[in-house]
Amino acid sequence: MAIERLIKFTLVFTLAVILMGAYTRLSDAGLGCPDWPGCYGHLAFPSASHDLANIESRFPDAQIEPEKAWLEMIHRYIAGTLGLMVLAILILCLKQPQAPKKLPIFIAGLIVFQAALGMWTVTMKLMPIVVMAHLIGGFSLFALLLLLYLRLKPLRIPGGDTYARKLIPLALVSLGVLVIQIILGGWTSSNYAALACTTLPICEGNWVDNLRFADAFSPFQGDHPSFEFGVLDYATRMTIHISHRIWAVVTAITLIVLALKLRYAQSHIMRNSGYLLVLLIIVQVGLGISNVVMNLPLGIAVSHNGGAALLLLTLVFINYALWRKA
């Protein structure tokens, strides 16, 4: 069906938008254009000398960096394209009698809210709670599009798998644990805390006595001209980083336990999902360690975001399959 092909393509495109968003954020280009939806009042970053002179007079406090401005605008344009694709999915679902209606409507509402978060990310100068919400919104959109695809194209998993049915609580807990870890990762990134600890396994120095959980997880951090590069002190950023690192261990253990138990499911789809889960965990942990020991290289940091998105998709699939067909 045309709608199923469109959703599959949109899923891939959504992952591309997530990766582009991570690349933009990690390149410190989130404020490459200080206004929204345009860039210095233009549809794209202008190159004419008279336009540049006009920009300098209109935005006297802005640090004009064309490369970062183009990164930000490319991200906005592909995100806008994603919005049009979601609108097309909604229209096709509404026209198709047997297609779900509530889920595509919710997804369309989410993409509108994502656009608003994108605007607030700029107008509120990279406020961490807004940046993190924008990241979580993108991951949520990715997961919901998979759910919509699965509802349109039901899985053919043999019924009567009483063993798999017993894994439903563990699969749901695993999904919750992963979501918390993704939120912690978003909070770490939006507060520029990824390099707060540069040693393994936990952190350098007397980190235990310097933990500040109340400050680390306060959603509001006062008024600042800009939140770019972070406004928190070292101890607070260290607390955020350590929380993300420790919860990564909890997440890895929980997901590996689920994956090992899936080996004994009757359905080969569920068994293969378990193997994929183990592979993604190994890759994701390796990327996380590489971020620390290699001082957050851009390619690895972006891949770490992509790995989290694929882990989320895998767990959503596993939960759907167990609830729907087990």
CB atoms within 10 A of CB 141: 22
List the catalytic residue out of 65, 72, 204, 228. Answer: 72
Task: Provide DSSP, 215-280.
Answer: HHT-S-----S--TT--S-HHHHHHHHHHHHHHHHHHHHHHHHHHHHHTT-SSHHHHHHHHHHHHH
**DSSP code per residue over 16-62:** HHHHHHHHHHHTT-TTSSSSSSSBTTBSS---SHHHHHHHHHH-TT-
Specify the amino acid at residue 72: E
Which amino acid appears at position 33 of this protein? C
Residue 204 is a catalytic residue: no
b/e 252-272 (16+ beta carbons within 10 angstroms → b): bebbbebbebbeebbbebbbe
Residue 90 and residue 107 in contact, taking contact as beta carbons nearer than 8 Å: yes
Residues in CB range of 306: below 8 A, 6 or more apart: 15, 18, 19, 22
Taking residue 215's Cβ as centre, other Cβ atoms within 10 Å add up to 15
Residue pair 193/234 in contact by the 8 Å Cβ criterion: no
State the catalytic residues. Answer: 72
